[in-house]
Amino acid sequence: MAKAQRVLVVGWDSAPPKELFEDWRKDMPNLDRLMNEGVHGLLRSTDPPITVPSWCSMMSSRNPGQLGFYGFRNRRVGEYTGKWIANAQAVKVDRVWDILSRYGKRSCVFNVPQTYPVKAINGVMISSFLTPSTESDYTYPKSLKADVERVSGGYIIDVDEFRTEDKAWLLDQIYQMTEKRFKVAQFLMQEKGPWDFFMMVYMGPDRLQHGFWKYIDKTHSKYEPGNPFENAARDYYVLLDQQLGELIAMAGPDTRIFVVSDHGAKRMDGSFNVNDWLIQEGLLTLKEPLTGVRRFSEEDVDWSRTLAWAWGGYYARIFMNVQGREPEGIVPADQYEAVRDDLVRRLEATTDHTGRVMRTRALKPQDIFTGPCNDAPDLFVYFDDLYWRAGQDVGHDSLHSFDTEIGPDDSVHDYDGILVMSPTGNAGSRVEGAQVMDIAPTILDTLGVPVPKEMEGKIIATD
């Protein structure tokens, strides 16, 4: 089937390939059937592999250098404290549903990241986890909100406090959110059709994996055999598979199904305290001596003696204090590349708590993106092949920590997510080399809509 009358995209945020394609496949009959009747493979995420910007790259087929954002929070270059959140207002390019609207095709867009504030489309939209609260106008049209609240019995935007030690509570919240999502999806399919394009994203997988990875992964340093949550992730994906089967049945024949994730997941080995390291290296100086662990703040920095500082997370962003660019810059513009190259060398020589040199990569935005790279950091750093996250706080006794400054977290993001597409002519085969920017042109081609020349991805072969 080269073309289809409809497309259904089910997004499982952060879904990992090995667990779904190998470990739990036998427990997920609907995903297994799609894999047998279509194609499947790894779906390379963006750099950095994180929810924002990955879902937007997937739906616009533009890389982050074109989009101009690299995570939820972003820095205004030239300002020390200017931060902004990349919600829908930051998206200046068309996404699939914008293009389909111009061709008269109707969309249901449900919980796709970076859709708040909602915008008018030919169809309906419910925004995602960047929505401030259910008090906001989170639906298009506005009148849809009352239906969502009624059908769900009180909608849940996200599990806000998912970094918690209260795992029973967390599991209950994730299941509640998922069940409410599914009730709304049923309502949209049955009451808000007809549609040509239906896309919904589940955030539950990401929240569950961050909260429970140490319970399921025997290679995790905190794994305990026989723990009560040993099957928590598998059981949750079994639920998602059951819901997938019902969504497929409701979508009806002549529908091409996509099951995708924005990135993968794997165990977290530790947190490298990158600002403490910059201080130790003499590259970052604070106004006052440290007397314990505290949140890093640009307001505490002595800029006259600082070459670079960092933001943490699942990857680090390194910013340089450049003359003529930052208000109190000290790195001469003609020394910029030399200083940056020195930073790369030092970062890629960092070691873990045992003294082993980590497999760390420090990436220059101009080497991994096309486009103007507006507001890009000077370096992106993946510590130890992403197995270590970057701690932003300062004042630790060691450069290495085994908990995060924002609460318990067991997993990090991995480069590859999942792609399952069905039905296709080459049933049961694997797709090689697919990346998130390939999804938008493949959807448009499936629906017989011309692919804009600005899109950077390729159409994934289906025959």
3-class secondary structure per residue, 375-422: CCCCEEEEEHHHCEEEECCECCCCCEECCECCECCCEEEECEEEEEEE
Q: What is the pLDDT of residue 385?
A: 98
Kind plus residue range of the DSSP H or E element containing 264: strand 264-267
E strands, 52-149, in order: 73-75, 83-85, 107-110, 123-126, 139-140
**Buried (b) or exposed (e) across 110-132, using 16+ Cβ within 10 A?**
bbbbbbbebbebbbbbbbbbbbe
pLDDT confidence band for 460 (50 / 70 / 90): very high
Report the Cα 187 to chain-centroid distance in Å.
27
Neighbours of 165 (CB within 10 A): 9
Q: Is 60 exceeded by the pLDDT of residue 351?
A: yes
Under a CB-based contact definition with an 8 Å cutoff, are residues 462 and 39 in contact? yes
Kind plus residue range of the DSSP H or E element containing 273: strand 270-273
Q: What is the pLDDT of residue 425?
A: 87
Beta-bridge partner residues of 258: 9, 421
Q: What is the pLDDT of residue 309?
A: 98
Cα–Cα distance, 249 to 261 (Å, whole number): 21
Q: What is the pLDDT of residue 157?
A: 95
Q: What is the pLDDT of residue 338?
A: 98
Average pLDDT for 434-439: 98
Q: Is 80 exceeded by the pLDDT of residue 452?
A: yes
Q: What is the pLDDT of residue 66?
A: 97
| Mean pLDDT taken over the chain | 96
Q: What is the pLDDT of residue 1?
A: 53
* Lookup: tokens for 288: 């006052």
0.85 surpassed by pTM: yes
Cα–Cα distance, 440 to 452 (Å, whole number): 10
Average pLDDT for 220-237: 95
Beta-sheet strand order (sheet of 197-202)? 139-140, 123-126, 107-110, 197-202, 6-12, 255-260, 416-422, 39-44, 429-431
pLDDT confidence band for 2 (50 / 70 / 90): low
Q: Is 90 exceeded by the pLDDT of residue 137?
A: yes
Specify the amino acid at residue 141. P
Determine the 3-state secondary structure of 301 from DSSP.
strand
Q: Is 80 exceeded by the pLDDT of residue 383?
A: yes
Cα–Cα distance, 294 to 292 (Å, whole number): 6
Residue 430 — φ and ψ, nearest 5°? -95, 145
Q: Summarize pLDDT for 6-39 with one digit per residue, the tens.
A: 999 999 999 999 999 999 999 999 999 999 999 9
Length of the chain, in residues = 463
Q: Is 90 exceeded by the pLDDT of residue 195?
A: yes
pLDDT confidence band for 193 (50 / 70 / 90): confident
Specify the amino acid at residue 372. P
Under a CB-based contact definition with an 8 Å cutoff, are residues 53 and 43 in contact? no
Beta-bridge partner residues of 294: 394
Residue-by-residue DSSP string for 286-299 = BSS---S-B---GG
Q: Is 80 exceeded by the pLDDT of residue 406?
A: no
Average pLDDT for 300-312: 98
| DSSP designation for 137 | -
Q: Summarize pLDDT for 207-216 with one digit per residue, the tens.
A: 999 999 999 9
Q: What is the pLDDT of residue 160?
A: 82
Average pLDDT for 294-307: 97
pLDDT confidence band for 80 (50 / 70 / 90): very high
**C-alpha distance from residue 151 to each of 40, 191, 192, 199, 249 (Å):** 34, 11, 13, 19, 20
Q: Summarize pLDDT for 154-179 with one digit per residue, the tens.
A: 999 999 888 888 999 999 999 999 99
Q: What is the pLDDT of residue 461?
A: 86
Q: Is 80 exceeded by the pLDDT of residue 118?
A: yes
Burial class (CB in 10 A: 0-12, 13-18, 19+), 364: middle
Q: What is the pLDDT of residue 154?
A: 97
